[in-house]
Structure 1
Amino acid sequence: MTQATAADAATFAVAVPALGPDVRCHVLQPGRPPLFIEPAGERLLDRAQFRQWSRTVRPALDALILEHGGIVLRGFPTAGTEDFADFIEQFPAFDGGYAGGRAPRETISGRVMEATRLSASVRLAVHSEMAYRRDYPRRIAFFSRKTAEVGGETLITDVRHLAERMDPELAGRLATLGSRTAINFGPRRDADDASYAHMDERGWNQSFHTEDPAEVNRLCAERGLEPVWHEDGSLTVLNALEPFVVHPQTGRKLYRSILHMLPQVENPEQDLERRKRQKYPTGATLGNGERLTDAERAHIDQLCDQTTYSWPWRDGDVMVLDNLQVWHGRNPYQGTRDVQVALLD
């Protein structure tokens, strides 16, 4: 890699011959995800030409997502949901779907979903998509249809070396004991809210897209989950998981867990009261029921902070991440933000 010209001095140019002469590539820092890909001329500003190019170079894009942990397509003709939907159509979909997913989000069109309806004031901690599940998408795509006026950046965290940097004693305890996650859903609700101050407020019917508890039980059994129904009509879903996984392509051992995470909330005091009332408080424990100590949680958070990055987003940006190697989150924001996602394999 060589440092870019003065016009783009904050980045480092990367030569990728497999993408052809009509694009230029760069990274913000050597070895740091993602790889930015931009048009080098006028040809790929045409939607038909961009569509043909993206399908021709798809194998190269796959390899770059794996190598760099993620890519960002910037400056291409991806202004609307239909453009994003067309781009992701060439990638295999995640067959598991999002029934019972944690984030309050709805389908926009086809495979395209909202990113989250979590309140704009909440910082969404970095995480691997569906880290509370046995089955998860291998990749996740983001589309910034409308960038917030203030804040709202999609954060990413490079976790490729996190497991090996973790305190060996802690890593050994996690590997030996495993984890158990608890995800709580509210009672049946008639309508989705425009935003949620706490993810636990969303009704189970809205998350599982059914009004039938028997169907929820069936979906849970299919996914290896244990549903626990409560007298007030709310639902807890329990799941036993291994905190470490092996990447199917790189063979690297990776940390993939919510053990260190606290609930993403607008009001921590109200959350504490909520958790006191819950039979199974939202979050994760070790397999023996113990929670990580504050020091252990802080240790993992510190490791994440060391490789968490953000940059100003632009309308039309499309990012595809390797969901195991690079996590994502969101800064709080002001104004209007429309970020859309798709789960890919």
Structure 2
Amino acid sequence: MNSIAKNPLDQDCPVSVAELGSDVRCHTLQAGRPPLFIEPCNDALRDRAAFRAWSARIRPVLDQLIVEHGGIVLRGFPIEETADFGNLAELFPAFSSGYAGGVAPRSTISGRVMEATRLAAPVRLTLHSEMAYMRDYPKRIAFFCRQAAPVGGETLIGDMRTLVDELPAELVDKIARLGIRTTRNYGAKSDGMEGSVEIMESIGWNVAFGTDDPQQVETLCAERGLEPLWNDNGTLTVFNRTEPFVIHPQTGRTLYRALVHIYRPDKRPEGENTELYEAIRKTQKHPSGTFLGNGEELSGQEVDAFEAVIDRHTHYWPWRNGDVMILDNLQVWHGRNPYEGPRDVQVALLD
């Protein structure tokens, strides 16, 4: 990919919310801004069996609305526990590659449902497209708020549909020409995760890949286009190259899918343990980060250009217990605000 042309008008055909039926109402927080909220307007869909039958019947409509609006929120329906969320997720195709090798500290809860993240409460999770550092990625991601935090903990939303158009053309062309190279580090083999995780790179390679067998890790890396390097201290480094831009299969838009503007060796995520972060970094022969294909990082001015656009399209709202949000993973990014108190948000990776 040598250069990126400005995006044409979207090629998808808008679907009418009327196709959802007369038992629901829809609204957005701001016109043109994701997601679309869908709520029952009577008691017809507050019964679990009725809701499941309705959601199975209108799932093709939901598919189209997710593309058209960038995401949807189902609010006020009988989704109270993990099993309810799991049943809803089962209506959608699963992301077949799974989360092996992912960087977020998370464990499987049941079936296809995982923890959103074990990252410690004070840490602000920067906006990103899920698994943007991998060749293979889920086309959609679903979130379930089982318990909203009493303070903070909102899921940040970033509408990135016009990001490529709003960035300087020379910056877009530079990234497209050079491509992306990512380095990630995992901790030494561990007994698992206990409680929250202060630094993502501290999780053991066996936890991240779901196996204690180094040979199986290497097999998984080969399947995912990763190059593993076993370090003398028992840690694992993986390298890979990815294309920074993709064409959305439904809208035809060119979309940015990379972390070169945020995942840099000198950038510590807000709220992370400084001393632990620096101690881990000192042990890394190949520091974690996302780089241009020639090994360079973006300049401060180029990062500022990204942040200016992203900030304009970022917003959030309070979770409510029982909310389910399904995002188009290419068009809309997500993150997390720091929080206080108990919080239980779960995820499922969908295609």
Cα distance between partner residues in 2 of 1:257 and 1:268: 25
> CA deviation digits over 1:236-288, x for unaligned, max 9?
11110111111111110001101011453613465345334422211201100
Q: Secondary structure at the match of 1:211?
A: coil
> CA deviation digits over 1:180-208, x for unaligned, max 9?
01111000001212111110000000111
Letter in 1 for 2:281: R
Letter in 2 for 1:219: L
Q: Secondary structure at the match of 2:45?
A: helix
Residue segments in structure 2 that go unaligned for 5+ positions in a row: 1-14
Cα distance between partner residues in 2 of 1:192 and 1:103: 12
Report if the CA contact (8 A) 2:176-2:243 is conserved.
Answer: yes
Matched residue, 2:339: 333
Cα distance between partner residues in 1 of 2:191 and 2:30: 48
Q: Secondary structure at the match of 1:142?
A: strand
Cα distance between partner residues in 2 of 1:231 and 1:121: 32
Cα distance between partner residues in 1 of 2:131 and 2:63: 21
1:101 paired with 2:105, answer no
Matched residue, 2:58: 57
Letter in 2 for 1:196: V
Letter in 2 for 1:288: N
* Percent identity between the two aligned chains: 61
Matched residue, 2:80: 79
293, 298, 302: which one pairs with 2:299?
A: 293
Cα distance between partner residues in 2 of 1:273 and 1:31: 45
- Equivalent residues, number: 332
Cα distance between partner residues in 2 of 1:193 and 1:266: 17
Tell me how large the CA RMSD over aligned residues is: 1.3
1:212 paired with 2:240, answer no
Q: Secondary structure at the match of 2:77?
A: coil
TM-score normalised over the length of structure 1: 0.94
Letter in 1 for 2:34: P
Counting only pairs closer than 5 Å after superposition, residues 182-197 of structure 1 correspond to structure 2 as 182-197=183-198
Counting only pairs closer than 5 Å after superposition, residues 23-172 of structure 1 correspond to structure 2 as 23-172=24-173
Cα distance between partner residues in 2 of 1:241 and 1:206: 24
Cα distance between partner residues in 2 of 1:277 and 1:187: 11
Report if the CA contact (8 A) 2:202-2:280 is conserved.
Answer: no
Letter in 1 for 2:288: T
Q: Secondary structure at the match of 1:96?
A: coil
> CA deviation digits over 1:59-105, x for unaligned, max 9?
10000000000000000000100100011110000001011111000
Matched residue, 1:9: none
Report if the CA contact (8 A) 2:141-2:327 is conserved.
Answer: yes
1:312 paired with 2:318, answer yes
TM-score normalised over the length of structure 2: 0.92
Cα distance between partner residues in 2 of 1:270 and 1:294: 25
Cα distance between partner residues in 2 of 1:177 and 1:279: 24
Report if the CA contact (8 A) 1:156-1:328 is conserved.
Answer: yes
Cα distance between partner residues in 1 of 2:16 and 2:248: 26
Residue segments in structure 1 that go unaligned for 5+ positions in a row: 1-13
4+ runs deviating over 6 angstroms = none
Report if the CA contact (8 A) 2:26-2:39 is conserved.
Answer: yes
Letter in 2 for 1:275: R
Q: Secondary structure at the match of 1:316?
A: coil
Report if the CA contact (8 A) 1:159-1:327 is conserved.
Answer: yes
Matched residue, 1:275: 281
Structure 2 CA distance for partners of 1:123 and 1:167, relative to 1, 3 Å: same
Cα distance between partner residues in 1 of 2:259 and 2:194: 25
Matched residue, 2:178: 177
Cα distance between partner residues in 2 of 1:15 and 1:136: 29
Cα distance between partner residues in 2 of 1:317 and 1:300: 30
Cα distance between partner residues in 2 of 1:161 and 1:18: 28
Report if the CA contact (8 A) 2:199-2:276 is conserved.
Answer: no
> CA deviation digits over 1:294-315, x for unaligned, max 9?
2211221221111011011100
Cα distance between partner residues in 1 of 2:227 and 2:101: 12
Report if the CA contact (8 A) 1:15-1:24 is conserved.
Answer: no
